[in-house]
Amino acid sequence: MEENTSLTEVKAGEVEATKKAGGPAEYKKPHKAVKKKSTIAKLVLIGIVLVLGVIFAFVPMQFGFTNYNPFAQSISLGLDLKGGIYAVYQATNTDTENFDSKMEGTRSSLESLLVSKGYTEATVVREGESRIRVEVPDVEDTSEILSIIGEPAEVSFVLDETSETVITGDDVVRASSFFDSSSGGYAVSLELTPDGQDKFFKATSEHVNETMSIIVTIGGESTTISSPTINSAISGNAIISGNFTEESATKLADQIMSGTFDVALELKESETISATLGEDALYYGVLAGIIGFILVILFMCLVYRMLGVGASLSLFLYVVIYLFFLAVLPWVQLTLPGIAGILLSIGMAVDANVIIFERIKDEYRNGKSILASYHAGFKKALFAILDSNVTTIIACVLLLLLGTGSVKGFALTLLVGVLISLFSSLVISRGVIKYFINLNSYDAKLYNLKRGKQFAGLSADATDAAVQEVMDKEAEEKRLAKEEKKKMKELEKSAGKARRAQESEGGEA
């Protein structure tokens, strides 16, 4: 059907006359519910899926010896909701070559250090050009975290005999503690870069039985943390052995790793956030979301009736799917700005349904049946919904690329929510409302639809024949006009070619 066709000439009497004149058989009687049994079965299936989704989202269960944790409780919480510690570091020298890549390497090293210690939820992000922010949620002993990340230092391996610096933290890839079965005690392994291995081999081969001190420099103050004796020339990676306990070996490895950063950093600020404050913020945030969700559903059902009921069902499914993706996506960490992104995306999902329903009301007001209005409403609202959501998606992507910290959390939850809301409004909501209309397409009050004055005498489901006849006639006239215009252009084009060919041969046009 052409979208810009006019229905202004169709009168109630003309519709009745068309019906008496013997229109198509399917339009002679009011439309009845089609495939009623299969429609009811599909609605029941949707209800079962919704109930199961809510159960798996919110209800913990036990299967045999396995405890199931609902995915609503599996969402990773950020620092402001779960409590923990954060620290901000400033690069002390920004004039070094390839500063940006070195800052990224330092950020990666800090992140790897925390993950290796079991803090898998720790986030390390850059703030601006020369700052790095470290957040570690759900930490009971915050002093332990501060001792691990501490104040990043500079590490150097210096020969005691000659005071020559052999390698620095730039040459160390990884330092880790382990139990050495050959010596029966704990030791520290050093994995060096290829260049570091060459320098280390040269120094150790020339200074066997001498000591090499490992010096850590923090804020201009140097401290010797270990002075192992060189037992032999070391051509590959090295092992530092001695009377280590598990704790002392781990501490030495951490101190060495703190000096492997590409850029020297200085601790600017750190703060411990109470878990109680985060729990209160989460409680009130969720409470606000539930209240808003209930009010939105009440508004939709009161204003749009069965259309609103269909939208509410799809909104419930939307929330279940949304929570599932927030739980399974590894880079999602929920914060207070993230909760704001969730609420905003739910509002946008409702906004899409409002656009569709208002379009359906316009179509019905202008003479179409309920079923025809449903199809036209979704079709004509599609591009408006896509346009509004695409602009939001672009904004979210830019915030993810350029934003930091909580801004990224807001952008990520909003982006995920907008993508799911498109699926919810254009697929789930469309299917649910279609099944409702299949059950009842003759009671306009059920959907709060009203005719315009010009079509007040038309019934809700018996107008398709007359309306379609007018629309088909107008469409045919437009098609014939286009074909005639196309033929005229082709004739003009052919005449122009013939004239140019005749002129090129020296003849007269």
Q: What are phi and psi of 241, to 5 degrees?
A: -115, 165
Look at residue 276 in the predicted model and tell me its pLDDT. 65
Residue 357 has a pLDDT of 93
Strands 238-244 and 185-192, how do they pair? antiparallel
CA distance 319 to 121: 24
Residue position matching structure tokens 């830019």: 398
* 464-504 helix and 12-20 helix, angle to the nearest 10 degrees: 90
- Output the six-digit token pair for 378: 């979704």
End-to-end CA distance of the chain: give it in Å, rounded: 45
Give the residues of the chain that fall short of pLDDT 50.
1-34, 467, 509
At residue 23, the pLDDT reads 39
How far CA 50 is from CA of 45, 66, 316, 346, 421, in Å, comes to 9, 24, 7, 17, 16
The alpha carbon of residue 427 and the mean position of all alpha carbons in its chain are separated, in whole angstroms, by 19
Residue 304 is predicted with a pLDDT of 93
What is the rounded radius of gyration, in angstroms, for the C-alpha atoms of the chain?
Answer: 36
Query: Residue 499 and residue 502: Cα distance in Å, rounded?
Result: 5
pLDDT at 19: 41
- Its sign, for the CA torsion 445, 448, 451, 452, is positive
Strands (E), 142-193: 154-159, 165-168, 172-180, 185-192
Tell me what pLDDT residue 4 has. 43
pLDDT in tens, 393-438: 999 999 888 876 678 888 889 999 999 999 998 899 999 998 898 8
Contact 390, 419 (CB under 8 A): no
The pTM assigned to this predicted structure is: 0.61
Strands across the sheet containing 123-127: 123-127, 131-137, 84-91, 265-273
Cα separation, 186 vs 178, in Å, equals: 6
Contacts of 395 by beta carbon, 8 Å cutoff, 6+ apart = 411
Cβ of 94: how many Cβ atoms within 10 Å? 12
d(CA 12, CA 453): 11
DSSP state of 125: E
Measured distance CA(421)–CA(408) in Å, rounded? 20
3-state SS class at 353: helix
Residues 158, 211: Cα–Cα separation, whole Å:
9
**In whole angstroms, what is the distance from residue 339 CA to residue 175 CA?**
39
